[in-house]
Amino acid sequence: MIKKSTILKVVTIILWILIGSGLSFVLVSGVVKERAQVCKEVVVSFMDDKLMNMIDKEEIYNSLWPSQLKESPVGKPLAKIDLFHLERQLEKNPWVESANLYVDNRQTLKIDIKQRTPVARVFTPEGNSFYLDESFNLLPLKTTDFIALPVFMNFYIHPTALKASDSVLLSRITGLSKFILNDPFWLAQIESIYIQPDNSFEITTQVGEQTIHLGNRSDWASLFYKLKVLYRKFSAEQSWGRYSVINLQYKDQVVCERSDVKMMLADTSRIDSTLLVVNPSNNNIKLNTNPSKK
C-alpha cells in the first residue's frame, strides 16, 4: 500500500503545480490585456493660473509628435509610450519649467505643464530681445503675444558665462521688475530702465522728460516713495519741465538738476517740508523750510 505521507506529498505537489499554473495564467492574461490597451486621447493641462499662456496645446502636441498622423499615440498601445522620454522632450522647450506625464484609468494620456513666468523684457546692446524670468532664464519672444513688462536696455550678460557680479545684477533686475509689476502706477509710468556700465540703473519715464538715476541701490520701496513725493511736488508747482535729472542714489536725499539750478531734498523722514537749494555758480546753500515759496 501507498503510504499516506507519500499521497500527501503527491497532492501537495499537484496543488502547487495548479497554483503556479493559475498564477502564470493570470500574469499572462494581465500582460496580454495591458498590451491590448490603447491610448484613447491626449489631454494637456496647465498647472499655473496665468492670464496668458506663452505656449499652447498645439505647440506642445507638435513638439512631441511633429508628424501627428504617423506619430500620435492615440490608438497605439499604452505599453509602447515612453513617458520619461516625452517629459524630457517637453522640458527642452524654454517656456516649460516642468512636465508630468501619466496615463489614467480611462486610458487617457495626461500632460501637466508648468510654465515659466517672465518678469522683465531685456534688450542687448546689439538690439536682440528676450524675456527674463525670476530664475534668470532667458526666454525667446513670441511674435504673436504682448506682455506688459518692465523693459531693461543694454543687457550685456551672456547666460552661458555667468559671473558672481552678473548674479547680483540679475537679482536686482528681477527684484525691480517684480516691484514695478506690483504697482500699476509705476508699470504705466516707467518706459525703460537702462543698465549703465557700472551696473547702476537709469530710468526713462512716460510723463516728464527727466532722467532718473537709481544708482546701485536695491531698496525699491524707499526709492520710489521719494520719487512719488517729488512727483506730487512737481504737480503742485507745475514744474514738470524744470528739471532734467533726478538723482535718487544718495541716502536720505533727492537731487534734482537743471542747467542753472541744483535742488536737493534732504532728510527724507521730513521730505515734504525740508528743501535745500544749491546754486552751482557759487556753491552757496540756502535752507528753505517752506518749499511752496520760491
Same domain, 176 and 143: yes
Can you give the pLDDT at residue 294? 35
Q: Decide: 74 and 41 in contact? Cβ < 8 Å.
A: yes
- Going from the C-alpha of 255 to that of each of 174, 211, 232, 250, the distances in angstroms are 26, 12, 15, 8
What letter represents residue 239's amino acid?
Answer: S
Same domain, 45 and 16: no
State how far the Cα of 176 lies from the Cα of 193, in Å rounded to an integer. Answer: 10
Same domain, 82 and 214: no
State how far the Cα of 205 lies from the Cα of 234, in Å rounded to an integer. Answer: 14
Provide block-wise average pLDDT over 10 residues at a time, the chain (294 residues).
60 66 53 66 83 79 75 84 89 90 90 91 92 90 78 86 81 95 93 94 86 91 89 80 83 74 50 40 31 37
Note whether residue 293 is domain-resident: no
Can you give the pLDDT at residue 260? 57
Q: Decide: 38 and 107 in contact? Cβ < 8 Å.
A: yes
Same domain, 111 and 122: no
Q: In total, how many domains does the chain have?
A: 3
Same domain, 152 and 266: yes
State how far the Cα of 156 lies from the Cα of 28, in Å rounded to an integer. Answer: 62
